Amino acid sequence: FFANYDIENFIDITQAGFYLISYFLSSESKEDCTLTLAVKYNDLLIPASNVIVKWQANSINYVSNSIIAALQGWDALTLSVRSAAETALSFNGTANAILTIVKIH
């Protein structure tokens, strides 16, 4: 395996290489808002991974993206979601967040 999932909320990369990183978020908000979804390694933004989207109130919204990134052994990957203003996202059974990695070289 090229990754460990032993600690909640991040993925440890165990082997250096190029990885296809795919990520997805769906949720509902009570207010219109602007969200930024991004992938970080060791708390640093992976260049070109940030996606800015407008979330519509009272409906389930979706966003996804994929990137290719060079990662080192023991890099810790996290999925980051930030809002331009204070808001609460609802994960109501049809909503979730996914971070998937595949070593390609």
pLDDT confidence of residue 92: 72
For the record, the structure tokens of 95 come out as 């909503």
Predicted confidence band of residue 99 (pLDDT cuts 50, 70, 90): very high
Residue 25 has pLDDT above 80, yes or no: yes
Round to whole Å and give the CA distance between 45 and 27: 22
- pLDDT tens-digit readout, 38-97: 999 999 999 999 999 999 998 889 999 999 999 999 999 999 998 888 888 887 776 788
pLDDT computed for residue 95 by the predictor: 72
Q: Which residue has the tokens 């930030």?
A: 82
